[in-house]
Amino acid sequence: MPRGIPILSGPDIIWPVLEELFAQYELAPAFLEKFLGRRQHLAESVDEHAACLRVLATRAYHKASKGVRDEHILGLFTMGISDPKTKEDFLLNMPTSLQSALLRARKLEACREAPRQLPNETIAVIQPAVLQPKPSRTPSVSYPGPQPYCRYCRKFGSRAQHCGHYPAMQYTGES
């Protein structure tokens, strides 16, 4: 045991020393497993999620360069977002850096939160006006189309006007 603690010491002495020992020497593969399994929690903001990924990546890839770590963080950040719309946006247009991914995720998060912050009265006033159909200015007239037993339709085809199966032709003023 470190610090000269006898092995036959009681658990109240041994456990704190063991916890401290394992906290210092946790291996990179253990951090790599935590890093690769990390997903954004529902109550967690995108900034908190990115900060946690940075800490885990630094411990998991302690020998790698910052650029390599940032690539790993970017890949896991885009796939670990809890909001499906943001994840879909990232899949359609993959960000090139973690900073651009964070900016876009913040914007999408703000857009998603904005309707929740509107007062309910505003929504209640707007919705009925949107849902009411607007009356059309021209009356709708439907024509039944050609009738096989109509003598005008048989004789004049689509130019038949007297039977009412076709709309009236517009006079253009030309002869």
Contact (Cβ atoms closer than 8 angstroms) between residue 112 and residue 85? yes
pLDDT for res 31: 82
**Among 93, 23, 13, which Cα is nearest to 59's?**
23
Answer whether residue 131 is part of any domain.
no
pLDDT for res 101: 92
pTM of the model: 0.51
**Among 174, 7, 154, which Cα is nearest to 166's?**
154
Q: What is the DSSP letter of 44?
A: -
Q: Are residues 106 and 148 part of one domain? A: no
- For 137, the enclosing helix (H) or strand (E) is none
pLDDT for res 136: 64
Answer whether residue 136 is part of any domain.
no
Low-confidence ranges of the chain (pLDDT < 70): 1-3, 23-26, 116-145, 161-175
Per residue in 106-126, pLDDT (tens digit) is: 998 888 877 766 665 555 555
Q: Are residues 85 and 162 part of one domain? A: no
User: At 53, which CATH number?
Assistant: 1.10.1200
Q: Are residues 106 and 162 part of one domain? A: no
Q: Total structural domains in the chain?
A: 2
Q: Are residues 159 and 109 part of one domain? A: no
Q: What is the rounded CA–CA span in Å between residue 145 and residue 109?
A: 54
Q: Are residues 100 and 175 part of one domain? A: no
Answer whether residue 53 is part of any domain.
yes
Domain region containing 64: 2-118
